[in-house]
Amino acid sequence: MVIRVNERRIISALVGLVVFPLSFSIAAFAQDPVSPQRDDLNAKDRARVAGVTRATEIFSSAEKYENMSGGAGTFQSDLGRNSFSHFSENLDFAGQEKFNLGNGLFRKIWVSSPSSTNASDGLGPIYNARSCQRCHLKDGRGHPPDISDTDASTMFLRLSVPARTDAEREALASKKMLRIPEPVYGGQFQDFAVPGLAAEGQMVVTYEERPVTLNGGEVVSLRMPTYSVKDLGYGPMDPEVMFSPRLAPPMIGLGLLEAIAPEDILTQADPDDVNGDGISGKPSMVWDPIVDGIALGRFGWKASKASLKAQAADAFAGDIGISTPMVPAHWGDCTEGQAACLKMATGVQANLGDTEAPDPILDLVEHYSRNLAVPARRNVDDPTVLRGKEIFYQNGCVACHTPKYVTSRNAAETVHQFQLIWPYTDLLLHDMGEGLSDHRPVGDAQGEEWRTPPLWGIGLTEAVSGHTYFLHDGRARNLLEAILWHGGEGQASRDAVVNLSPEDRAALIEFLESL
């Protein structure tokens, strides 16, 4: 079927799709890294896009299409336990079929080698989970360990040590290596192992409660975590080892985040705070195997991955111990210091390919990850929600949590092109203060720096995941605690929330819960 331009605009208006002739060029921002401009737009179209994405000044009613957080692909029904597990509503039949295949692989339970399953063995030998779904429960957010039941956790520890040799320093400087793994325990602490092999050990989390008094007399207790390890299976760790905990983030809208034109991200960067507003977001530039060079990082808590495919391949290897053509690590995160681990059988099947997850497994999981729909917003016209939105703007939260974008026409998949989306993130790194620092550099990100997490879908966390633990390590037990942990560049906004009246603070939370 051929759709003429005017017809396409009418259709787009009906479904919340904004159609503009958008594209992007890597060269555009390479030439002007301070204020890049999308070179696919003429002056008239640039003005139109700017008008659509400009921060609103009207809070008496909802904005046009504000309920369609994920553009035309927004999922608009069954906003409950399965809210994050639906494919984009503008995906065609072929795309849906591919999505369902990817879903099966995302849920696939891997087993140790050798086994009778042929296509399912290769687990570990050391690992954190047996499937992607095990960490991203219901495609949602992970949770920290219950102190009485560490096996219930979907959190893990990243490990690294300082660079000590010229070769290590050169690798870090070239960005071909984001961090130096712990010599024996590797880049990630693995708390499970296949039969006959010792796990690396167990993570231990303890909390110290810190009270904060808010305007109006309410006292909120924040819990400060401390991380350690026990029951080490391969001897002591390097004395300079650095830990960084990670919770699995929700999976929705990832393809749309990948479709944001890089210029639209880089134009928000102000690493030297030239405008003096106290916000100095900076891009994370990382090595990407897709382009075989440096690219803009968008994914992960430190924006350390530039593409979903690279993110998925690293998760296969690091979390499950499954090799793919992009990361052909048959023994996962085993190191030379773990000889017994390297002697274990792999799951490579010669008749299937030369990795444990040969093509097209990674491509199907990537497609699935790209096309998990963002759920529709709720109560966008509610007076309390609108008041909370106004406070969100007035307090400066939008300086990092950029509300909306129009995606590129050169997005990898057609369904992600020309979309007006509302992710509430700038995808940049920000100094969040000493309280949130993990004291562990990763690529361009220092210990106190974190990527602004998208907020879309955050109000459905409890419905999907059964909890309300937030931030990179789940220390915040609700949205208010998450706000109160903001320091550094977020300190002024955090203090403004502390000083709000109880009624306005409740309105702010109600707005966040509508996202």
pLDDT tens for 447-500 read 999 999 999 999 999 999 999 999 999 999 999 999 999 999 999 999 999 999
**Distance from C-alpha of 26 to C-alpha of 334, rounded to nearest angstrom:** 36
- What's the rounded mean pLDDT across residues 404-429? 94
pLDDT tens readout for residues 323-361: 999 999 999 999 999 999 999 999 999 889 999 999 999
Chain mean pLDDT for the chain = 90
Interior angle at CA 367, CA 362 and CA 370, nearest 5: 125
How much is the pLDDT for 19?
A: 36
How much is the pLDDT for 153?
A: 67
How much is the pLDDT for 16?
A: 35
Closest CA to 483 of 432, 446, 429: 432
- For residue 150, pLDDT over 60 is answered with no
How much is the pLDDT for 152?
A: 53
pLDDT tens readout for residues 80-129: 899 999 999 999 999 999 999 999 999 999 999 998 887 899 999 999 99
- What's the rounded mean pLDDT across residues 216-235? 97
- What's the rounded mean pLDDT across residues 23-36? 40
Compare 60 and 11 and report the one with higher pLDDT.
Answer: 60
- Going from the C-alpha of 44 to that of each of 21, 40, 264, the distances in angstroms are 11, 12, 17
pLDDT tens readout for residues 175-184: 778 999 999 9
Confidence of residue 35 (pLDDT cuts 50, 70, 90): low
**Distance from C-alpha of 296 to C-alpha of 252, rounded to nearest angstrom:** 20
Contact criterion met (CB below 8 Å) for 49 and 261? no
Amino acid 500 reads L
Interior angle at CA 231, CA 436 and CA 154, nearest 5: 45
pTM of the model: 0.91
- For residue 40, pLDDT over 50 is answered with yes
Closest CA to 507 of 470, 478, 480: 480
How much is the pLDDT for 33?
A: 41
Confidence of residue 3 (pLDDT cuts 50, 70, 90): very low
How much is the pLDDT for 147?
A: 46
- What's the rounded mean pLDDT across residues 278-287? 95
C-alpha 72: how far from chain center: 22
Task: Supply 272's token pair.
Answer: 């030297």
**Distance from C-alpha of 156 to C-alpha of 146, rounded to nearest angstrom:** 13
| Lowest model confidence (mean pLDDT) among 40-44, 196-200, 427-431 | 40-44
- What's the rounded mean pLDDT across residues 222-247? 97
**Distance from C-alpha of 217 to C-alpha of 205, rounded to nearest angstrom:** 30
The region, left, alpha or beta by phi > 0 then psi within -120 to 50, assigned to residue 326 is alpha
pLDDT tens readout for residues 289-304: 999 999 999 999 999 9
How much is the pLDDT for 48?
A: 81
Written in H, E and C, the secondary structure of 199-229 is CCCEEEEEEEEEEEECCCCCEEEEEEEEEEE
- For residue 17, pLDDT over 50 is answered with no
